[in-house]
Each structure stands twice: as C-alpha cells, then as structure tokens.
Amino acid sequence: MDTELARAGSPSIVIDSTAVRAYLLDLQQRIVARFEQLDGKPFAADHWQKPPGSPLGGMGITRIVEEGNLLERGGVGFSHVTGSKLPPSATAARPELAGRGFEAMGVSLVFHPRNPYVPTVHMNVRFFIARADGQPDVWWFGGGMDLTPYYGFEDDARHFHSTCKRALAQFGAELHPRFKRWCDEYFFLKHRGEPRGVGGVFFDDFHELGFERSFALQRAVGDGFLDAYVPIVERRRDHAFGERERDFQACRRGRYVEFNLVFDRGTLFGLQSGGRTESILMSLPPVVKWRYDWQPAPGSDEARLYSDFLRPRDWV
C-alpha cells in the first residue's frame, strides 16, 4: 500500500506503510547479520507466499537457525499479510473493530540459546491497518521486547531495562514506566501465578503520537534490541554449565511454551488468521520438559530465580 490517508479516532493524517515495510525488512536483515556473526552459522531463509484463494493474503520471510553454536534455535520472521476479517485475538481489546478487514506487517523474533546462562529473548514490532467500507481506516503500532533468564544476573536485568528506558526517553518520561508495567502484566502466566521472565517493555494499539512520532517510537524499540541483548550474550555465552543447568533450562522452557500457546496475542493472531504455521511456531524451543509439581531446592541458584527475578521489580 502506498502513502494514503488513514485515521485512528482522530483527524485524518498521512501514513506511509511503504516506509514501515522497508524499515521492518531492514531491521530483520540487520539482526540476522549480527547473530550470524555471533553464532558462526548462517540463518536459512524461507520465503513464503499465501496461495490464491487462501483466506489470508500476503507473504513473509522467515530467517531461522537450528543447532547453531550459540543458538539452539533462533528465528527472525517478517510478514506482511492481509485478510477480510480481523481474528478474535486482534479485536479482544478493540471490539469496535470486529468484522473489519486488515493489513498487518511486522518483525518477530525469539532466540533460544544453548547455554542456560544466556537468557531467551523475544522482540516484536508490528503495524496494523483495519478497514471497513465507508469508514476511515484505523491504524496502530505495537511491539516490545522481554528477557527470560534461566539463571538470574542483576547486571543483565539492569542493562536490558536501562536500554529499553533510553530507547523511549525521547518520547516522554511517562512511556517507559507505562510500557514496563504493561509488559509485566502481559507476560504473566495466569494459571501459574508467575511472570515468564524479568520483563522489558510492551505496547499495543499505539497511535497517540500521530503517525510520524509513533513510527519513530517503533523504530527506537526495534533499533534498541541489539544494544539491549548482545552485551548479555557476550557476557554469558562461555559460562560453564552441565546437565543440571540444561535440565532446569528445559523445565523453564516449558513455561515459555505454555505462554506462547495459551496467551500470546501474536501467536493466536497468526493461527486464527490462517498464517504460516511453521513460521508462527518458530518461537518454540527445541528441547523442553515438564515435571509434575517440581520445586527448586531451597537456597539454590534455581530457587533464586523465583525469589529474586520472577517478580516485578524496578530495575532502573
């Protein structure tokens, strides 16, 4: 879609979805290039296109590495899709948009490192336009990033949150605490009563700064990802580990699977809208375990993850 008029409950303004698409493709390539350097193994590229007659139109590029030197599994996906009706996951918070057609584009990544001392990370930035005949288009940005350690380090958590805060600072001091709180509340396993990790930032349905500034905010979050995560990777990747740490990592990865399949809006949107299943589920870890009512030994590093890290904290 070329530059056009769209509206999000305010006077019509010019939006440029072509610029958003170009940014997202560049972001995907920059992140993949950096992690190919860090891992030493190239990412495969899967270019997919929805067939004619499919309820979902559009295309995507999935960049994936498995059994790498650093990453046991890592995926960075770009998608640009259209559909005739927004799925329930996209209208749960915006019921007034039910029944509209849509255009959606975004980059989503999850990295599952092999070393349990390197945390799993997720990042996503996306752009939606919802359309209905005879009504103004409604658009918004969403995204964020969050960190899921298996063994907690205070300096890692502080660095990640400080980088998120710096990325948002130019858009108003109130945004970081608001987006951090949103992240803490969103990445929470309600059935277990515990956070998925140490959080980060999360935002959705965001258009309040107008198109140009809202797009700039999305770019700041996307561009901040490498600064937030790479120093942690470089600090922890050579930390010695054994079967105990790998076993705990596999158990904690089970929580990641539970969240993504039960609560994650992006996963649900992709599956409900008829997206490419392999690309949607690339976020799942390759090795995972569940144990009945497992509890960490008191005073252990595993117990410290629960007591000191898996709870909302003001890290900066």
The residues carrying an active-site annotation are 122
Nearest of 77, 135, 78 to residue 110 by alpha carbon = 77
Residue 287 host element (H or E) = none
57 sits in the region (left: phi over 0; alpha: psi -120 to 50; else beta) called beta
Beta bridge partners of 75: 64, 110
Supply 25's token pair: 């493709």
Give long-range contacts, CB 8 A cutoff, 24+ apart: 27-34: 27/107, 27/125, 27/222, 27/223, 28/61, 28/63, 28/76, 28/77, 28/78, 28/107, 30/226, 31/76, 31/107, 31/109, 31/225, 31/226, 32/63, 32/76, 34/226, 34/230
Most distant pair of Cα atoms in the chain: their distance: 63
Let me know: does 257 contact 288? Beta carbons within 8 Å. yes
Give residue 85's Cα distance to chain centre: 23
